[in-house]
Amino acid sequence: MPNTVEIPVSALENDAAYRAAVIDLLGLLAYGELEAFERLAADSALAPTIDDMGALAGHAAAEQRHYELLRSRIVELGADPSAAMAPFVAPINEFHARTVPSDWLERLVKAVVGDGIGADFYREISRFVDADTRAIINQVMSDTGHSDYAMAKVRAAVQADPAVAGRLALWARRLLGEAVTQAQHVIAERESLDALFMPNATTALAASAASAAATASAPAASAATLDLAEIKNVIERLTDNHYQRMFALGLAKTSERA
Amino acid sequence: MPNTVEIPVSALENDAAYRAAVIDLLGLLAYGELEAFERLAADSALAPTIDDMGALAGHAAAEQRHYELLRSRIVELGADPSAAMAPFVAPINEFHARTVPSDWLERLVKAVVGDGIGADFYREISRFVDADTRAIINQVMSDTGHSDYAMAKVRAAVQADPAVAGRLALWARRLLGEAVTQAQHVIAERESLDALFMPNATTALAASAASAAATASAPAASAATLDLAEIKNVIERLTDNHYQRMFALGLAKTSERA
């Protein structure tokens, strides 16, 4: 993981563009968590046993707590949570509409892939925010226990019937593709997030980042600019992590990309 | 509310029939809470605004916590939670299958009526259990805030369009009828619960109740027997409470039965 940019917490008060970007980011994460709650609750309702039903209800409730945390933080920053979430309803719903699982195993794979990409995204974005915002993101990233649960179930199913692996591997690839597509839409449509990912793109954010870099260690200064090379690196890391998860699920022969 | 029977906590250890009855009861309540979670989560997914979606997710998560509490208690008593819940899956699912709301308002009315009947049932049953079991039931009865939320939404809708009141009143009556039908099935099929409601029906429970009554105040002794007159009283109370809720919802002109 590359260096972290130390944006001062005071930027939330002094820097309107940075503040707007953080509220946008929190809105995106909040709606993402709320949707994760809905998805896990729906999985719970369709679970094959009462045990699974109860376990998934617990995972859903953990996502609801993450949502609540993000929502409270948006209120704390003086913004309206519904307004902050609104721009992200369409792309997140679109992702789910384009990736409706056709059975229980596809649901589990979607949970593992979706949670994984989400956690990777949180980890990347947390490099470009102030310490207070990073603390919230880290709390929200804390495991709900769901990935381990879903991963164990998928692995067991693949071992019991290796024939399902091909179909599930294709499904996972489609999920990754749709997630990247919707992420591109979000970044293209929300200039503030764009600014967060590329701090040099706006004067205000550049000023924040520069003043922060001045007090941080030298390597952080270059990390502040998420330029094209850096974006390529981010995508590389996300993809590498995805292939590692595929291997862990028993859906790929190696953890390297084909 | 009539008197409470003081069954000693030690009956959980000394009295196999009483213990089985309590595990059955906890299984019933646990599955009921899990189903309440599922229902509220489904309501959340269909909510008309992001605000409502978030509020309902919170109410669902509160039910999940109640479920978790009951589940832990079943484990604490050395029983298997899934096995304890299993006998109640069919009647509770049957209730929900027979009462599928056709729109958002019917969903809200179902939540108010269902929660209300549930709370009434918890209050009645808590008279016939030991103090430890009663403490769990009281915690689970603690409000999720959902009834107030749903009641306010229904009241506002009826005020805005009084024409919906007739349809919703009929719907509420059907919900009460279906709940009573399924409750009768449960009591008829689960002898242990029958024993809990009518302690004199089994020797073991009668012994527990009698030894408890000896140390309790005089009126408690007669309350120990949930005889036919008492069952009539319970049904009266449930129905009276239902009509009071109908009045509060704006679905009845008075809080008295027609």
pLDDT score at A221: 36
Chain A residues within 8 A of B34 when measuring between CB atoms: 50, 53-54, 57
Reduced to 3 states (helix: H, G, I; strand: E, B; else coil), residue B204 is helix
pLDDT score at B201: 44
Chain-chain contact of B42 with A37 (C-beta, under 8 angstroms): no
Lowest mean pLDDT among A67-71, A94-98, A145-149: A145-149
pLDDT-derived band at B3, boundaries 50, 70, 90: low
Percentage of chain B beyond pLDDT 90 is 47
- When pLDDT is averaged across residues A171-199 and rounded to a whole number, the result is 79
A interface mutation test: which of B50, B74, B92, B146 has the most A CBs within 10 A?
Answer: B50
| φ, ψ (nearest 5 deg) of residue A7 | -80, 130
pLDDT score at A195: 67
pLDDT-derived band at A207, boundaries 50, 70, 90: very low
- When pLDDT is averaged across residues B33-47 and rounded to a whole number, the result is 93
Q: Which of B51, B57, B68 is closest, CB to CB, to A64?
A: B57
Average pLDDT score over chain B: 83
Chain B residues within 8 A of A49 when measuring between CB atoms: 82
A interface mutation test: which of B33, B35, B37 has the most A CBs within 10 A?
Answer: B37
What's at B90, amino acid-wise?
A
pLDDT score at A203: 40
Most confident of A55-69, A115-129, B169-183: A55-69
What are the angstrom distances between the C-alpha of A2 and each of A29, A131, A208? Answer: 22, 16, 19
- When pLDDT is averaged across residues B100-110 and rounded to a whole number, the result is 92
Q: Which residue has the tokens 């009283």?
A: B233
Residue with the bigger pLDDT between A183 and B227: it is: A183
Chain A residues within 8 A of B54 when measuring between CB atoms: 34, 67, 71, 81-82
- When pLDDT is averaged across residues B181-190 and rounded to a whole number, the result is 78
pLDDT score at A126: 85
Lowest mean pLDDT among A49-53, A74-78, B12-16: B12-16
What's the distance, Cα to Cα, between the start and end of chain A in Å? 23
Reduced to 3 states (helix: H, G, I; strand: E, B; else coil), residue A130 is strand
- Give the model confidence (pLDDT) of B128-162 as tens digits: 899 999 999 988 887 667 888 899 999 999 999 99
Q: CB of A32 within 8 Å of any CB in chain B?
A: no
Chain A residues within 8 A of B57 when measuring between CB atoms: 34, 37-38, 64, 67
pLDDT score at B165: 93
- Give the model confidence (pLDDT) of A15-46 as tens digits: 888 899 999 999 999 999 999 999 999 999 99
Whether residue B204 is predicted with pLDDT greater than 70 in this model: the reply is no
| φ, ψ (nearest 5 deg) of residue A6 | -90, 85
The Cα–Cα gap between B102 and B174 comes to 13
The Cα–Cα gap between A228 and A201 comes to 12
What is the per-residue DSSP string for B110-159? HHHHHHHHHHHHHHHHGGGSBHHHHHHHHHHHS--SHHHHHHHHHHHHHH
Chain A residues within 8 A of B97 when measuring between CB atoms: none
Whether residue A205 is predicted with pLDDT greater than 70 in this model: the reply is no
Q: Are B5 and B128 in contact (CB under 8 A)?
A: yes
pLDDT score at B203: 40
Q: Are B89 and A48 in contact (CB under 8 A)?
A: no
Q: Measured in whole angstroms, how far is the alpha carbon of residue A189 from the centre of its chain? A: 18
What is the per-residue DSSP string for B56-113? HHHHHHHHHHHHHHHHHHHHHTT--HHHHHHHHHHHHHHHHHH---SSHHHHHHHHHH
Q: CB of B86 within 8 Å of any CB in chain A?
A: yes
Lowest mean pLDDT among A116-130, A154-168, B81-95: A116-130
